[in-house]
Structures are given as C-alpha cells and as structure tokens.
Structure 1
Amino acid sequence: MAYVYPYKKHNYIVLIDSKEVGGFSEVNAGDITIDPIEYREGIHPVNTVLKQPGLVKYGNVTLKWGLATATELMTWLQSTVDGTCERKTITIQLCDDLHKVVAEWEVINAWPTKYTPTDFNATSNEIAIESVELAHEGIKRIKP
C-alpha cells in the first residue's frame, strides 16, 4: 500500500458569503465542545453516574490579515456596531499542492464580535496585522 502524506496547512482559501475578500495570513477555526450531562437514577444498580451529551459550544473563529486597502471586513464590523448584525457564512477551504480543494469547512451565521488593529512600532519592519473574531452558530466539515 502506498503511503499517503497528510495535507499541509499553509494553502487555504477563506470565502465570506461565497466571495474571496482578501488573503488571510492565519485562520483559527475555534473548537467544538459538547458538555456532558451527568445524572444518576436512584434504582440504578451500578454506583456511578451516567452521562449523555448536552449543549454544544463553538469557539470563535479568528481571521488575521496584513493591513491593506480592502475594507469589506471593517464595513461588516461597523454594521454590527451600528446594530444591524449581518450574519454571514464563512467557508474555509484547504488546498493541496496543486491548489485543488481537498477539505472544506462551513461556519454558520457568523458575525464579528472582536476587532484587534495592528500595533505600531517605529523600530519594527514587520507587516501590520489586523484580526477579527467571529462568533457563530456552528461549524461543519462539508467536504471530506
């Protein structure tokens, strides 16, 4: 059997409502946690608690990008600040070395919850990086 190498994580595309709004230097898709519910029935013969799945919680998605002239994310953030809270679908696509999409995740009903501007340092020659955190109502893998 031939050995199959795992995919590299540096080649990805982020779509917001099916549109590429720029390149992102880093994406953290958050985590999924399912709280256990513990209970015990009084007549249960085993002296232990039983567990079943409870509420599902999704960690925020963080997008980081180099400061440029694109303003779509700031416009989206401002609409949330203004009270309209436009929810969008975020798609994260992982690509192989030939830029073919090999895995895909969909973030459902996302909206900006935190914005972090770049820090400023006159003695640095690093790229100016902004970031935004997105709250959402679920993430699912839609392509194996």
Structure 2
Amino acid sequence: MATDDGSIEGATWPMPKFRFEVDLGTELTKVAFQEVSGMDVENQIIEYRSTNSPLFSVEKMPGITKYGNITMKRGIFVNDNTFWDWHQQIVMNTIKRRTIVIKLLDESGNITMQWTLNNAWPTKISSTDLKSDGNEVAVDTIEIAHEQLIVSNG
C-alpha cells in the first residue's frame, strides 16, 4: 500500500553503489575515487578422504583464506602524487602498511556499510594513457594487496 509521500509501505530497496568514500589511513581522509573493485574473499578447498569412509568420495573442508587485490581508480589532480609517493616507500620487502576503509553512503551521507582492509599496501600503479585527440579525464589506477577484509554495517 502506498503512503502519503508516494513510497510503498514496508518496502526495502537495495543500496545504490554510486555514493562512497575511501579513507586511505593518512592525513588525506575521504579521497574521491571514480571506481573501487575487487573486494572479494575465497577459501582454498582441502580434500580429504577418511580410510574408513563408506562413501567413495572425499570430504571438502575450508582451507586458507585468500583475499583478492582491490583496484581503485581516481582522477589525476595537479601536484598530487599520493599513490606514487606511497609506492616509492617500498624498499627491499619493507612497506608502511595501512588500514584502508571503504564506506558506502546513503542519500544523507551516512555510512550504511563499510569494508576495512587491514595491512594494505600498493602492488601496482598504472597512470593514464595520453591521447592528443581525446577529451577524457586523466585517471590513475592503484592495485592494493591486503591481508584481511572486514565487512561491517554503519
């Protein structure tokens, strides 16, 4: 049944994905990104067959958890080398790891869901392609490895 304001009573709608912000865990908070992708997790499968199993099949058990790399894209701004400076900190297997928080916002700007990446560090940076006849925005892409993904609600 519709209410006075035109909404459907008791209806719940999926969240739109276009309003979000990323906190890189530095003095630069709320960095504006064009796209964030790759927030996935999977478990390796361990196959085991007990010698006294009446079935001629294996049991499948969860193994080590594996997190995919996060890819983030954002526009290039004048005198902003944030990604490159962070990547330059990698020296012989040492890097300053960060906690990165990706926040999905509602229409009022309140956090509805967030993904926390622990021990994150940049593995790859790709700068924009350059075309003399193009009119697109220049975009940097950063790929971030991490060791844990925690999902929580606002």
TM-score, with structure 1 as normaliser: 0.92
Q: Give the equivalent residue in structure 2 for 1:46.
A: 55
Offset of 1:86 from its aligned partner? 0.9
Cα distance in 2 between the residues matched to 1:47 and 1:83:
46
SS in 2 for 1:17: coil
In structure 2, C-alpha distance between the alignment counterparts of 1:36 and 1:95, rounded to whole Å:
35
Q: CA deviation at 1:29?
A: 3.6
- 1:21 and 1:95 map into 2 onto residues whose CA distance is 12
CA–CA separation in structure 1 for the residues paired with 2:21 and 2:43: 28
Identity of aligned residues (%): 34
SS of equivalent residue, structure 1 residue 102: strand
Unaligned 5+ residue runs, structure 2?
1-8
SS in 2 for 1:79: coil
Deviates more, 1:114-123 or 1:23-32: 23-32
Aligned equivalent of 2:76: 67
Deviation at 1:21, TM superposition (A): 5.6
Q: Which has the higher strand share?
A: 1
User: TM-score, structure 2 length as denominator?
Assistant: 0.87
Higher-Rg structure is 2
Taking a change above 3 Å as real, the CA distance of residues 50 and 83 of structure 1, as seen in their structure-2 partners, is: closer
C-alpha RMSD of the superposition: 1.7
